[in-house]
Amino acid sequence: MVSVLTRIGTGVAATALVSSSAAAATGDRAGLALLDRVHRAYARVPGVSVSGQAGQLGFRWTLVLDAGITVGEQFVAEGPGGVSQLVVRRGGPTYARDPGSSCWRALRRSDQRSFDNIGLPFPDQAGMRVEAPRAAAGMRVLPVVVAGDPGTFSLDGSSRVRSITVVAGGRRIFERVATLRSAPALTSPDPRC
C-alpha cells in the first residue's frame, strides 16, 4: 500500500510497499472490521497490480497472493535516471537492480528498500494503524497511517481496493489498484552481483 518514502536508484522519491516492523494492523474497531472484510475479499485473488506516478517517476508493484497473503512482490520504477527494480519472494531477501547495473544484489533487511510486508494479508503494511471508515462518492474509504504517513484505501462494493492515496514527503500520490486473474510471474533476480 502506502508508506515510507523510498529513494530509488534514480534519486527520485516514490512511495513504497514497505515499512519498519511486522505487526498486525491496529486502530479503530469499525476500521478493523472493514479491513477484515477487505482481507476476505482477496482470499481467492492470485495477484494484484498497483501503479502510479510521482513527479517524473512512473512505478508499478506486482504482488503475488496466496489465500490473500502477500508471498511475492516486484517493484519497477522508471524515471529520468533509468529503471530501478526490486523483487522478493517468501523466505528470501529483497533483491535490487539499480539503473545501469547488469546484476541483482541482495539488500540487507535494514535497507529502507527491503520489503517487509511478505506474509501479511493484502493490503496490510507492517505497523499499519486503521482509522474510522467513511463514505465518499459512492465508495467506502478506509483511512490508514503507516510509518507516520497518512493514506486511504478506496473500496468498491465488494470490499476490494480500487485506489490508494498517500501523502508522503509533502506529496499526495494516487495509485491505481487492479485485481489480477492469474498469479503473476515475478522477475528472477539473475545474475546476482
CATH code at 65?
2.50.20
Q: Which of 7-11, 112-116, 162-166, 173-177 has the lowest mean pLDDT?
A: 7-11
Q: 517517476: which residue's cell?
A: 57
In which band, very low, low, confident or very high, does the pLDDT at 23 lie, cut at 50, 70 and 90? low
Question: Which pLDDT belongs to residue 34?
Answer: 97
Of the candidates 173, 137, 133, the one whose C-alpha atom is nearest the C-alpha of residue 50 is: 173
Q: Does residue 187 form part of some domain? A: no
Q: Does residue 93 form part of some domain? A: yes
Q: Does residue 74 form part of some domain? A: yes
Q: Does residue 92 form part of some domain? A: yes
Give per-residue pLDDT as tens, 36-88: 999 999 999 999 999 999 889 999 999 999 999 999 999 999 999 999 999 99
Q: What residues make up the domain containing 76?
A: 5-180
Q: How many domains does the chain have?
A: 1
Question: Which pLDDT belongs to residue 101?
Answer: 93
The answer to whether residues 5 and 107 touch, using CB atoms and an 8 Å cutoff, is no
Q: Does residue 191 form part of some domain? A: no
Mean pLDDT (the chain, rounded): 88
Give per-residue pLDDT as tens, 125-143: 989 999 999 998 889 999 9
Q: Does residue 193 form part of some domain? A: no
Q: Which of 91-95, 136-140, 178-182 has the lowest mean pLDDT?
A: 136-140
Surface-to-core class of residue 37, CB atoms within 10 Å of its CB (0-12 exposed, 13-18 middle, 19+ buried): middle
Whether the model pTM is above 0.85: yes
Q: Does residue 186 form part of some domain? A: no
Instruction: Give dist(CA 120, CA 33) in Å, integer.
Output: 17
Q: Does residue 10 form part of some domain? A: yes
